Amino acid sequence: MLILMGLNTPREDIEKVKQKIISKNCTPHEIPGSSKLAIGITGPSNNLNEEDFLLMESVEEVVRITKQYKLVSREMKPEDTIINIGKEKIGGEELTIIAGPCSVESREQLFEVAGQLKEIGINFLRAGAYKPRTSPYSFQGLKEKGLEFLNEVKKELGMIIVTEVKDTQTLPLIFEVADVIQIGARNMQNFSLLEQAGRLSKTILLKRGLAATVEDLLMSAEYILSQGNYNVILCERGIRTFETSTRNTLDLNAIPVIKKNTHLPVIVDPSHGIGMWDKVSPMAMASVACGADGLMIEVHSHPEQALSDGFQSLTPENFKKLLIKLKQLAPVVDKKVKLNV
C-alpha cells in the first residue's frame, strides 16, 4: 500500500501516518518524489485498512500495490531512481560505464589498467577480490590483499570502486573499500546476504541469477530495499539456456521489461552475457539501444595473461573504439556519454 501526501505536508502529519503504520506492525518507507511525497508500506497488508489513512490529515490518496514486489515497483515510485555517487549519477540521462578486469591479480596489473581507463575518462573501476569460481581449483582472487590494492587505486586515482561480495562474513571488509558492492549472479538469492546488504548505506549492484526470472530478480532487490537501502542497481548479465555456442544468452528482452516494472537503474554486462571479447561490442550497443542505463564491461591490459575471463575481456584500445561508437548511439535513445573519446 502507498500513502500519497502533498509535498508541503507538515512533518507532524507525516510522522502521525508513520506511527499509524508502525502500530499495525508494518514498516513505513518515505519516498520523496517531485510532485508528491509517498509513504510506502511493507509488512502484513491484511492489517491495513484504507479508510484509516484516508481520514488522516494531509493524506491525499491511498493506493494498493498489485505487484508481489512493492518498494521496487513503478507503482510505488513512478519516477526513475537516480543514484548519486560523488559527482556521478546512475540512472539519469548519462550512461554509466563501469569497466575493469574480472579480478584483481596484482598491484601492477590493477594500476596499469586503472590508469588506462582513467585516461579515457572512466570513473567506475570494477575488479573482484573475492571470486566465485565454478571450479575450486581456479584462481579464487587475492581476497584481503586485493581489497588493499583496490583501496590504493581508489586513493591515488580517485576512482569509484565496484567489487563483489561473496559471503556475509567478508561483507564488512568489502564495505570499507567498495563504493558499489556487487552481489553476483550466484548469490542473487542468498537472502541473508541480501538482507545484510539492505542494512548498509552503500549502493548495491545486484546481478541477475543464472536461471532467475525477471520477477525473481525484482524480488531479490525487494529484500534489499525492504531493509532500508534504496540504492540498488540491477544488472542483466545473461541467463542459461539450451544454447551452448555462447557463454550465456544475454536477455535483451529483459531490459525494457525491467525498466517498465521498476524505477531502479538497469545496467547490462555483455562480457559475461556472451563470453567472447570480439562480440562484446555489438551486444553492448544493443543493450544501450534497448534502454540500458549503463554497461559493465571487462577490460584487461593483457587479456591473454588474465587469471580469469581473459577470453571475454577487451583491451583498452578496443574498449575505446566501443566508447566512440556508444557516444554516437546514445543520443538516439536520449542518453549521453560524457567521455573524452
Query: Which spans of this chain sit near ligand PEP (rule: CB under 6 A)?
Result: 102, 128, 132, 184-186, 207, 237, 272
User: Which range of residues in 7-15, 100-108, 165-173, 214-222 is near Mn ion by CB under 5 A?
Assistant: 100-108
Give the end-to-end CA distance of the chain in Å, rounded to a whole number. Answer: 47
Select from ligand PEP, Mn ion, none the partner in contact with residue 185, using the beta carbon and a kind-dependent cut-off of 5 to 8 Å.
ligand PEP
Interaction between residue 99 and Mn ion (CB under 5 A): no
Shortest distance in whole angstroms from residue 269 CB to ligand PEP: 6
CB-wise, 186 or 327, nearer to ligand PEP?
186
How many whole angstroms separate alpha carbon 32 and alpha carbon 333? 27
User: Which range of residues in 42-50, 87-95, 150-158, 304-312 is near Mn ion by CB under 5 A?
Assistant: 304-312
Select from ligand PEP, Mn ion, none the partner in contact with residue 115, using the beta carbon and a kind-dependent cut-off of 5 to 8 Å.
none
Shortest distance in whole angstroms from residue 272 CB to Mn ion: 6
Select from Mn ion, ligand PEP, none the partner in contact with residue 237, using the beta carbon and a kind-dependent cut-off of 5 to 8 Å.
ligand PEP
Interaction between residue 309 and Mn ion (CB under 5 A): yes
How many whole angstroms separate alpha carbon 61 and alpha carbon 54? 7
Shortest distance in whole angstroms from residue 328 CB to ligand PEP: 27
CB-wise, 75 or 236, nearer to ligand PEP?
236
CB-wise, 240 or 302, nearer to ligand PEP?
240
Q: Which residues of 136-164 are buried (b: 16+ CB within 10 A; e: fewer)?
A: eeeebbbeeebbebbeebbeeeebbbbbb
Shortest distance in whole angstroms from residue 281 CB to ligand PEP: 18
Let me know: does 128 contact 185? Beta carbons within 8 Å. Answer: no
Helices (H), 72-184: 107-119, 144-157, 171-177
User: In the structure grid, which three cell numbers stand for residue 108, read together?
Assistant: 601492477
Interaction between residue 90 and Mn ion (CB under 5 A): no
Shortest distance in whole angstroms from residue 248 CB to Mn ion: 12
Q: Residues near 336 by Cβ (< 8 Å), separated by ≥ 6?
A: 93, 94, 95, 330
Shortest distance in whole angstroms from residue 97 CB to ligand PEP: 15
Strand 266-268 with 232-236, pairing: parallel
Residue number with the smallest Cβ distance to ligand PEP: 184
Residues constituting the chain: 341
Q: Of residues 102, 205, 206, 218, which one binds Mn ion by CB under 5 A?
A: 102
User: Cα Rg for the chain, rounded, in angstroms?
Assistant: 21
Residue with cell string 507503482: 75
Shortest distance in whole angstroms from residue 79 CB to ligand PEP: 28
Let me know: does 258 contact 214? Beta carbons within 8 Å. Answer: yes
Sheet of 2-5, strands arranged across: 27-32, 37-42, 2-5, 59-63
CB-wise, 28 or 238, nearer to Mn ion?
238
**Where along the sequence are the contacts to Mn ion (CB under 5 A)?**
102, 309
